[in-house]
Amino acid sequence: MLKGKHIILGITGSIAAYKAATIIRGLVKKGAEVQVVITPAGKEFITPLTLSTLSRKPVISEFFSNRDGTWNSHVDLGLWADAMLIAPATAATIGKMANGIADNMLITTYLSCKAPVFVAPAMDLDMYAHPATQENLDRLRSFGNRIIEPDEGELASQLTGKGRMREPEDIIACLESSLTSDGELANKKVLITAGPTYEKIDPVRFIGNYSSGKMGFALAEACARRGAEVFLIAGPTALKAKHPRVCQVDVDSAEEMYLDAVGLFPRMDAALLCAAVADYRPESVEEVKIKRETAGKITLHLVPNKDIAAALGSDKQEGQILGGFALETHDGMTHAQDKMERKNLDFIVLNSLEDQGAGFRHDTNKITIIDRTGSIVEYPLKKKEEVADDIVDKLVTLLK
């Protein structure tokens, strides 16, 4: 299924570089053309001769050839690619990618690459867990790059933990399922917001809500199953997306969710806004824990958060579809229709807390889908996975 696909394989300086040979063999066997770009440190771990023999192409490492003065065009390479895979990706390369530090051929190629980018980190457990690495990975996710999460296992340091690069067959399977989607949403990109947001009061307290994220995650899986590439911006929840075509971006606050959503939306075909975004946040966050003994009675000053749905509604271009949710306790239909108009949504999913088994924390939901043509369709109480399919049916119809 990867037949004829052009894949750039970026290799960096990690002991896991030896596995790049198996990745190349696997990709070539499936009919892909592989162009290796290796960093100077990468060459310390695996020889260009091995890589060029397996990929049947000269390996690119430097901007210029000292022998004949020819130079390698990272721009042409970026445009040639159907996908770029960086495996193994070290903490240093991930940091450079996140910050645009283009000091080698691999990073310049990354910055020029318009195709989907997959990153398979490989490093020691403490390096992987470090907030700097995690923040850089979050940045890459927010750029729409796919992180192929490392495994837990024995590491080169002889310690055991998370940081071991995924096995070549898993990496190839991830590429394959991303690049060869079929289904009604094949080649479509869908942004989904899910879960609650947490608005900090002090280092240990926040304002939140009961949203579990289940509905948004079910939507993400349903869209991915039908072939879409999904960007799931999730507020704090214990859930993890399973489908390889779902790129999960974890955030805490409404402001973070807003920034990621507004950044990703121009590249999307559709967005489904399922998150229960906190309407307000504390005007200021206390730097130290508020102590009851000393603070006594307190007043929290709250300021409104930005409305993500309304912002995307005003940025929306022709052909983009925007769907939202309305969770109401009374006068559901009136409120939902008003929200759809106000936020310039194409359709809205109403769930009412008056209905048993609907709304937060349940595994079921009961919805009504309303659109701009005046169509109103009521559905019976169903599992959230089935509800997600009903909503995706609506999206598919509108995208046509």
Residue/partner pairs of 130-133 with CB below 8 Å, 24 or more apart: 130/91, 132/91, 132/95, 133/91, 133/94, 133/95
Q: Which of residues 32-51 bind ligand CTP (CB under 6 A)?
A: none
- Of 285 and 310, the one with the shorter C-beta distance to ligand CTP is 310
Q: Are strands 199-202 and 205-207 parallel, antiparallel or unpaired?
A: antiparallel
Q: Which of residues 259-318 bind ligand CTP (CB under 6 A)?
A: 273, 275, 277, 279, 305, 307-309
Which residue in the set 46, 127, 140, 254 belongs to the binding site for ligand CTP (CB under 6 A)? 254
- Of 46 and 395, the one with the shorter C-beta distance to ligand CTP is 395
- Of 33 and 346, the one with the shorter C-beta distance to ligand CTP is 346
Q: Does 199 bind ligand CTP (CB under 6 A)?
A: no
- Quote the least distance from Cβ 199 to ligand CTP, whole Å: 11
Q: Report the DSSP beta bridge partners of residue 250.
A: 234
Least Cα distance to 40 among 24, 62, 22, 20 occurs for 62
- Quote the least distance from Cβ 161 to ligand CTP, whole Å: 36
Q: Does 212 bind ligand CTP (CB under 6 A)?
A: no
Which residue in the set 174, 326, 340, 392 belongs to the binding site for ligand CTP (CB under 6 A)? 326
Say which residues have a Cβ less than 8 Å from residue 7's Cβ, sequence separation at least 6: 27, 32, 33, 34, 35, 81, 82, 83, 84, 85, 175
- Of 83 and 345, the one with the shorter C-beta distance to ligand CTP is 345
Distance between CA atoms of 185 and 242, rounded to whole angstroms? 18
Q: How many C-beta neighbours within 10 Å does residue 54 have? A: 19
- Quote the least distance from Cβ 342 to ligand CTP, whole Å: 7
Q: Binding-site residue total for ligand CTP (CB under 6 A)?
A: 16
- Quote the least distance from Cβ 96 to ligand CTP, whole Å: 33
Q: Which stretch binds ligand CTP (CB under 6 A): 62-70, 179-187, 282-290, 323-331?
A: 323-331
- Of 137 and 273, the one with the shorter C-beta distance to ligand CTP is 273
- Quote the least distance from Cβ 143 to ligand CTP, whole Å: 21
- Quote the least distance from Cβ 391 to ligand CTP, whole Å: 12
Which residue in the set 78, 144, 235, 324 belongs to the binding site for ligand CTP (CB under 6 A)? 324
In this structure, the dihedral spanned by the alpha carbons of residues 291, 292, 293 and 296, taken in order and rounded to 10 degrees, is 120
> What are the percentages of helix, strand and coil residues in the chain, rounded to 5?
35, 25, 40
Q: Does 325 bind ligand CTP (CB under 6 A)?
A: yes
Distance between CA atoms of 283 and 247, rounded to whole angstroms? 32
Please say whether the beta carbons of 370 and 348 come within 8 A: yes
Q: Does 339 bind ligand CTP (CB under 6 A)?
A: yes
Q: Which of residues 92-151 bind ligand CTP (CB under 6 A)?
A: none
Site of tokens 């109403």: 350
Q: Is 209 part of the annotated catalytic residue set?
A: yes
First-residue to last-residue Cα distance in the chain: 26
- Residues in contact with ligand CTP, shown as a per-residue x/- string from 164 to 193 under the rule CB under 6 A: -----------------------------x
- Quote the least distance from Cβ 154 to ligand CTP, whole Å: 43
Q: Provide the edge-to-edge strand list for the sheet that holds 347-352.
A: 246-250, 229-234, 189-194, 270-273, 321-328, 347-352, 367-371, 376-378
- Quote the least distance from Cβ 272 to ligand CTP, whole Å: 8
Distance between CA atoms of 244 and 12, rounded to whole angstroms? 23
- Of 10 and 324, the one with the shorter C-beta distance to ligand CTP is 324
Q: Which stretch binds ligand CTP (CB under 6 A): 45-53, 55-63, 243-251, 322-330?
A: 322-330
CA distances from 373 to 336, 366, 370 (A): 14, 22, 8
Say which residues have a Cβ less than 8 Å from residue 391's Cβ, sequence separation at least 6: 219, 222, 272, 323, 349, 367, 369
- The catalytically annotated residue of 136, 209, 305, 351 is 209
**Which stretches of the chain bind ligand CTP, using CB under 6 A?**
193, 254, 273, 275, 277, 279, 305, 307-309, 324-327, 339, 343
Query: Which residue numbers are catalytic?
Result: 209
